[in-house]
Amino acid sequence: MENTILLTNWKFKSPSETWLTAKVPGCIHSDLHSHCIIDDPFYGTNEKDLQWIDKRDWEYETAFYLDERMYNHSNLELEFSGLDTYANVYLNGQLILSADNMFRTWKIDVKNYIKQSNNTLRILFKSPIHEDLPKLEELGYSLPAANDDSEMGELGDKKVSVFARKAPYHYGWDWGPRFVTSGIWRKVMLRGWSNAHIEDVFIQQNQVSEESADLTVITEVHSDANLNAHIQITTKGIDKKIPIALKKGMNKITLDLTIANPELWWCNGLGDATLYNFSTSLFVEDVVLSQKDVRTGLRSAKLVRKKNKAGTSFYIELNGKPIFIKGANHIPNDSFNDKVTIGQYRHEIESAVKTNMNMLRVWGGGIYENDEFYQLCDEYGILIWQDFMFACSMYPGDDDFLESVEHEAVDNIKRLRNHPSIVLWCGNNEIDMAWSHYNEESGWGWKNNYTQEVRNKIWSDYEKIFHEILPEAVLEFSPGIDYWPSSPMCGLTGDETQHSSNEATSGDIHYWGVWHMEEPLENFNKYVGRFMSEYGFQSFPEEKTVRTVAQDKDMFLESEVMLNHQKNNRGNQLINEYMQKYYKKPKDFLSFLYMSQVLQGEAMKIAIESHRRHKPYCMGTLYWQMNDCWPVASWASMDYFGRWKAAQYFVKRSYQDTIVSIIEKDNKVDVYVVSDKLNSFVGQIKWRLVTFYGDILDEGVMETKIESNSSKVIISLDRDNVLKDHPLEKSLLSVQLSSESSLLDEKQYYFLSLKEIELKKPTITVDQIEDNVIALRTDFIAKQVHLSTEEECLLSDNYFDLVPGEIKLVEFDQQFDLHDLKIRTMYDYIENE
């Protein structure tokens, strides 16, 4: 049987300096910080003082020995799951590997170099900056790299990130710092085996339905010699063993399986995420030589693009059912990947589930995530839109670079292809739209900086990667899962209709009119495409998070620290300008933090509900973004420490399976009911026009059938008839949707903006119903009720409006002391006359 050992006890140094203990997996920044050689990289403006680190080479080393059993294996293989990035690897003084791609898995036969004891493994990491500057010089022109913060990196306008197959966000982004890391960022293993070894097992799902799952188990076996053997595959209700004739070298063995009446894998909200464990064993004369276990879910998944009168559809079909996608874009959870724990992954995925999401997009400027991330998505039923790691840049097309990209693609597709959560591979983020090769008037202006000859060369290199190498790799190694060349785009047409726009009727859309183009929030209702894969609005994190990087003296909007922890050029100013337009003035900076979160939440509510009202024309909404990689003002709905911002609660309400959504147009107040349920039901709609004191001015109730997977206007009210002479600034419409006496959703609609309505301090009473459940009442409309306790809790709801005459139940995720409960409303945070 094969054996594996994990190489530990590493040390590091800069050449000519002394050795210090290292953490592996890790990176040089984490190691320097752990030894107090550098200060906290995230604190204050420390980022600026740490740019010297990526200009140096760094060495890592460990020593190890082998027991006799391990040493006597006929094959000894070193496996590096992640080397970041340019690395020469020496075993006992012999160069065994020159690595140049952070995303690749490197396997090296070391039988001829290894000893039983006193083995030394040394890795020299070369400065990624010094490695790539000559490539820029040789190319003769710079390539666009919109988020490469070369100024912060003390390189002026020399953007070298495009030459490195390394996490793009390490070079800076408009929400993240520039820390160009080096190090051993994933495990280093030594594997020993004799005779034959299972390299890989792929459960190819040819056809899956409720009646049967037709599968092909593809097993790759490396053999030392020609051998007669057996392969055995077991899973629920299946135990199949067949004879095989192995040839020396790599063998591919295929075995067809059919599972009758399979338990299907469903995404969150639609069913159980059932998983099957497949065990594959390799026998020679009843002796197990190798075994590999694979866990997957049985499901069919495809991207459906069908032409219709409105354009071309764009939606995910899961197990034959069209799914309305509700989710967010995911970025790496830390600037230093070694700091991310499985607990953080679990918190993010559980937060997605609690927020009623069914998809996360693993965005192309980060990393192909760790296995644990995808395993959790499999378990919780969170679909994955998986980008390849290319974003907002044009890339070189020399043979070495293209070959590296091809290996990277194969390595990661094979590593991830058994995860049922992955339902779409995407080539890159925003490059097709940014370049807009076929439309001279659109794009980000990149192509205008080059001669026609260079433009054609850059685009040709682009096509080799995203229209040839990547789709061919997906087709060969993950057949059945669709590939989308770039997000956003309309379709691979080879003419000007290829590139996405805000009014595109096919493909997916990144709508940034609100925020980047400073358009009003109401435009979220105007620009709705077939699939909204990016849009967003910024806010600050809460005070606790801000104080981890700032002091009292930094607590104002334009302080150096606040500006350093805001990577969007006009981010702080834009938050302030939008706030001035829609809200009353916050009374101080800490109130500004709260108000910014409420503003972000309201923006997300408007956008999400607009997208959902437009189903089935629109069949997906992924806001930007779920999480942060450091403490920062950003588009995240959950901050660096995992604390839910107000937006996370707004999203939770707007992503419920069935919602009420209210919009006013042409003097009509339309009340929609949107349902993602796969079955119809009878619902009751109750509406009330009430004063801010709770007096009922008008009301109505009706029963209606809510169709499955639908969006429909249930009630349309004439604004003038309903309001009559009632004051706009003191009235609201409250709508509740119930079914079988169970409240499904409730929404409030105000006839004026929050800047115009009348607010006063409400008196809120609290009753503790259970150890972790409270009931709230108010005597006056309480806007954006904010509940907090000494012990950090997740709540069933927060940042909500409390209407007089109604009772609000809130559940805490742990017990708490009622005396520690703080209740504040928007009135407490604004300047009052």
DSSP assignment of 522-541: GGGTT---S-EEE----B--
pLDDT at 455 over 80: yes
**663, two tokens:** 């919009």
First-to-last alpha carbon distance for the chain, in angstroms, is 79
Residue 484's closest CA among 306, 304, 654?
304
Domains and CATH numbers, the chain: 3-189 (2.60.120.260), 195-296 (2.60.40.10), 656-758 (2.60.40.10), 759-833 (2.60.40.10)
In which band, very low, low, confident or very high, does the pLDDT at 736 lie, cut at 50, 70 and 90?
very high
Q: Which residues contact 814 (CB under 8 A, 6 or more apart)?
A: 772, 791, 793
pLDDT tens digits, 665-717: 888 999 999 999 989 999 999 999 999 999 999 999 999 999 999 999 999 99
Q: Which residues contact 308 (CB under 8 A, 6 or more apart)?
A: none
pLDDT score for 576: 97
Q: Indicate the range of 122-131, 390-399, 557-566, 809-818 predicted with least confidence.
A: 809-818
Cis peptide before 625 (omega within 30 of 0): yes
Q: Give 127's DSSP letter.
A: P
pLDDT score for 331: 98
pLDDT score for 256: 95
pLDDT score for 741: 85
pLDDT at 758 over 90: no
pLDDT at 816 over 90: no
Across 744-756, average pLDDT: 92
* 378 in Cβ contact with 422 (< 8 Å): no
pLDDT tens digits, 626-678: 999 999 999 999 999 999 999 999 999 999 999 999 999 888 999 999 999 98
SS3 728: helix
Distance, CA of 302 to CA of 201 (rounded, Å): 22
% pLDDT > 90, the chain: 93
Q: Indicate the range of 718-722, 729-733, 763-767 predicted with least confidence.
A: 718-722
Cis peptide before 493 (omega within 30 of 0): no
- Mean confidence (pLDDT) of the chain: 96
pLDDT at 832 over 80: no
Residue 87's closest CA among 24, 34, 41?
24
Distance, CA of 67 to CA of 36 (rounded, Å): 37
pLDDT at 402 over 70: yes
Q: Indicate the range of 358-367, 374-383, 421-430, 666-675 predicted with least confidence.
A: 666-675
* 412 in Cβ contact with 427 (< 8 Å): no
- Does the pTM surpass 0.85? The reply is yes
pLDDT at 471 over 80: yes
Distance, CA of 566 to CA of 568 (rounded, Å): 6
- Residues paired with residue 742 on neighbouring β-strands, in sequence order: 739
pLDDT at 582 over 70: yes
Distance, CA of 831 to CA of 585 (rounded, Å): 6
- Residues paired with residue 688 on neighbouring β-strands, in sequence order: 699, 734
- Residues paired with residue 312 on neighbouring β-strands, in sequence order: 307
In which band, very low, low, confident or very high, does the pLDDT at 609 lie, cut at 50, 70 and 90?
very high
pLDDT score for 726: 83
pLDDT score for 833: 59
pLDDT at 270 over 80: yes
pLDDT score for 255: 95
Query: Residue 272 class from Cβ within 10 Å (0-12 exposed, 13-18 middle, 19+ buried)?
Result: exposed
pLDDT at 720 over 90: no
Within 13 A of 695's CA, how many CA atoms are on the CB side?
A: 7
Query: Residue 15 class from Cβ within 10 Å (0-12 exposed, 13-18 middle, 19+ buried)?
Result: exposed
Instruction: Look up residue 187 and give its amino acid.
Output: K
